Amino acid sequence: MTQRRTRVRFAPSPTGPLHMGGVRTALYNYLFAKQNGGDFIIRIEDTDSHRFVPGAEKYIIDSLRWCGIIPDEGVDENGCVVETASEKHPHAPYRQSQRRGIYRKYAEQLVASGNAYYAFDTPEALARERAEAEARGETFIYNWSTRGRLLNSLTVSPEECSRLLQERDDWTIRFKVPENRIVKMDDLIRGHVEVNSSTLDDKVLWKKADVLPTYHLANIVDDHLMEITEVIRGEEWLPSLPLHYMLYEAFGWQETMPRFAHLALLLKPVGNGKLSKRDGDKMGFPVFPLHWVSPEGEHSRGYREDGYFPEAFVNMLAMLGWNPGNDREMFTMDELIQAFSMDKVQKAGAKFNPDKAKWYNKEYLRLKSDRELAELFVPILEEHSVKADFDYVVKVVALIKERATFVKDFWDIASYLFRDPQQYDEKDAAKFWKEENYTLAFKVADFIAAYDGPMTHEGVGAAMEEYIKGNEWPMGKVMNCLRLALAGASSGLGIADIVILIGKDAVNRRIEAAKKALC
RNA sequence: GCUGGGUUCGUAUAACGGUUAGUACAUAAGAUUCUCAAUCUUAGAAUAGGAGUUCGAUUCUCCUACCCAGUACCA
């Protein structure tokens, strides 16, 4: 086979928000394409108009964009699916519903070559067949074993067939799956797989009622036309792989048939089964990349809105079912592109671990500069009506960032560095706010007020500790009393840090307020 | 049911026939600090079960169990 430029595609159906498992599939496609210097293409598979959900298409593209997964083809710079062909997007339109004109001839071609046939069975007739089979404890299957007694172009005369084609508008074209043929397939992840064609059914390829192809036909035709070299998709497609192989063969396209890779599904953190929105709601984690509101008004939380950095989300997702072959866990997108390899992709489904997702965010948060984090913190401060000097915010961030998982945690951790405590933790007060302690704490406060050296760790911090130790006062009790007065709770930054940040005036003010509130 | 896929600590995974079965998250204990967090140290924790091939199987083959997917005129 001649060397072809690598071209992979992500082909979602706009039936709802993109699940994180879908993002992972897109990510692996993207990594594979970029690693091989090829193209990552988006194609919208919307041949089922009944399941179309407004906004889903935009959501999918926005989600990928947030993750840094930028398509080379199919979507323009504004994030819109391309409808008219150009040099950059030669295969437009990239929405199957807008490609409806091109599929019928391919279906007819298969009929002409004897690989497919017209079927005139009504949905009701098929439902009856299913019910009858079920009554006998069997499963109805439309294939070699039953097609001979059903209503189709193989069982009626050519004249009758043309008449039905004319009169009826609910006929279909079905693929004629051969009997008892071993279909031999190769999967990039699973290796060699064989299936006996007798177990397969004669899939509907084209529907007169909708004047549209079904997934299988549209998918194969478009992958062929768009010169796709590798199909990387979810495991749910593995059972239809033999059909797809036979379709390529029937069209005579086996020379350019793409290679296939079927990705195992993402599983729920506890119990069995695939990850669903319900699990997220129940256990408190998002299953979607971005916040989503369904047309019915139902909300779903998103990783972005929950405070995850896209780099952390992507890194976490990449490691769910793939590994570099060593212990390394942190990868930027570019590093993933370098390191990714299909044969390190896990065969089994991976249970999603929300704790690990948080851990990744924490790691990425630490990697960011104080100034960068401060910039993200400023809007949150503004929400709390706090206007602070930017350099002061930077100083605060430097001290608190190791204690946080998300930027949004900053406020809970450090609100007392921006305004006086509004209340005092009751348990901490009961534990530490005793006369023998706070009288000493007040003396330390007086000492700080009188201190006139540099407001640094080495200055006021050291002096304060020396003062307490010199008097042989209980360090822990005194400090916790002070922290309660200054920060509203006994947990938090070191007293010296707090004093240095808020300054002497605030210390005095807060001590007086605590006296009033607690004594 | 049938067809296909899968199975290493609780979770994600490493070990492409030879290791005291490694790492990370989580858990627990200890150290440290004025508290909390962070950090450091340590601990417990796995090859689903059974046959076979082999000098030797986590790794190869078969059987069983369990899990997942598909079984639509949905994708």
A316 domain residue, yes or no: no
Mean per-residue pLDDT of chain A: 95
Q: In whole angstroms, what is the distance from residue A317 CA to residue A280 CA?
A: 16
What residues pair up with A187 in beta bridges, in sequence order?
A191, A260
Q: In whole angstroms, what is the distance from residue A498 CA to residue A141 CA?
A: 74
A420 domain residue, yes or no: no
Q: What is the distance in angstroms measured between the alpha-carbon CA of A348 and the sugar C1' of B65?
A: 17
Last residue of a domain, one of A217, A239, A263: A263
Per DSSP (E only), the strands in A259-338 are 259-263, 266-267, 292-293, 299-300
Q: What is the distance in angstroms measured between the alpha-carbon CA of A319 and the sugar C1' of B71?
A: 32
pLDDT at A106: 97
Instruction: Give the single-character DSSP code of A457.
Output: I
Last residue of a domain, one of A231, A263, A295: A263
- Residues A49-93 have pLDDT tens digits of 899 999 999 999 999 999 999 999 999 999 999 999 999 999 999
A245 in the same domain as A391: no
Task: Tell me the nt nearest to A121, Cα to C1'.
Answer: B73
A218 domain residue, yes or no: yes
User: The domain spanning residue A181 has which CATH number?
Assistant: 3.90.800.10
Per-residue pLDDT band at A2 (split at 50, 70, 90): low
The pair of structure tokens assigned to A21 is: 């498992």
What residues pair up with A230 in beta bridges, in sequence order?
A8, A259
A269-294: b (≥16 Cβ within 10 Å) or e: beeeebbebebbeeeebbbbbbbbee
Environment class of A232 (CB within 10 Å of its CB; exposed 0-12, middle 13-18, buried 19+): buried
A440 domain residue, yes or no: yes
- Residues A379-414 have pLDDT tens digits of 999 999 999 999 999 999 999 999 999 999 999 999
| Peptide bond preceding A17 in cis form (omega within 30 of 0) | no
Q: What is the ipTM of this complex?
A: 0.96
Is the pLDDT at A306 greater than 60, yes or no? yes
Per DSSP (E only), the strands in A99-234 are 116-119, 172-175, 182-187, 191-196, 204-207, 212-213, 230-234
A479 in the same domain as A378: no
- Residues A253-300 have pLDDT tens digits of 999 999 999 999 999 998 888 898 888 988 999 999 999 999 999 999
A488 in the same domain as A394: no
A510 in the same domain as A390: no
A122 in the same domain as A219: yes
A31 domain residue, yes or no: no
- Residues A425-475 have pLDDT tens digits of 999 999 999 999 999 999 999 999 999 999 999 999 999 999 999 999 999
A146 in the same domain as A236: yes
Query: Is residue A401 annotated as part of the catalytic site, yes or no?
Result: no
A431 in the same domain as A392: no
Please state, as a whole number, how many other Cβ atoms lie within 10 Å of the Cβ of residue A452. 9
A86 domain residue, yes or no: no
Check: CB of residue A46 under 8 Å from CB of residue A96: yes
Task: List all nucleotides in chain B with at least one atom under 7 A from a protein Cβ.
Answer: 1-8, 10-15, 22-26, 33-38, 67-75
Check: CB of residue A280 under 8 Å from CB of residue A286: yes
User: The domain spanning residue A464 has which CATH number?
Assistant: 1.10.10.350
Give the CB-side neighbour count of residue A315, counting CA atoms within 13 A.
21
A174 in the same domain as A208: yes
- Residues A8-55 have pLDDT tens digits of 999 999 999 999 999 999 999 999 999 999 999 999 999 998 999 999
Task: Tell me the nt nearest to A217, Cα to C1'.
Answer: B75
* Helix axes of A310-318 and A56-67: crossing angle, nearest 10 degrees: 90
A172 in the same domain as A107: yes
Check: CB of residue A40 under 8 Å from CB of residue A69: yes
Give, rounded to a whole angstrom, the gap between the first and last alpha carbons of chain A: 86
- Residues A128-181 have pLDDT tens digits of 999 999 888 889 999 999 999 999 999 999 999 999 999 999 999 999 999 999
- Residues A188-229 have pLDDT tens digits of 999 999 999 999 999 999 999 999 999 999 999 999 999 999
User: DSSP secondary structure string, A203-272?
Assistant: -EEEETTTTEE-HHHHHHHHHHHTT--EEEEEGGGGGGHHHHHHHHHHHT-GGGPPEEEEEPPEE-SSSS
Last residue of a domain, one of A236, A263, A290: A263
pLDDT at A449: 95
Q: Please state the rounded mean pLDDT for residues A363-377.
A: 98
A445 in the same domain as A382: no
Phi and psi at residue A178, in whole multiples of 5°? Answer: -65, 160
Enclosing domain of residue A375: 368-407
Is the pLDDT at A1 greater than 60, yes or no? no
pLDDT at A272: 84
Set A277, A351, A368, A443: catalytic member: A277
Phi and psi at residue A10, in whole multiples of 5°? Answer: -110, 125
A496 in the same domain as A398: no
pLDDT at A278: 87
- Count of structural domains, chain A: 3
Q: In whole angstroms, what is the distance from residue A464 CA to residue A123 CA?
A: 85
A453 in the same domain as A382: no
Q: What is the distance in angstroms measured between the alpha-carbon CA of A66 and the sugar C1' of B29?
A: 42
A45 domain residue, yes or no: no
A445 domain residue, yes or no: yes
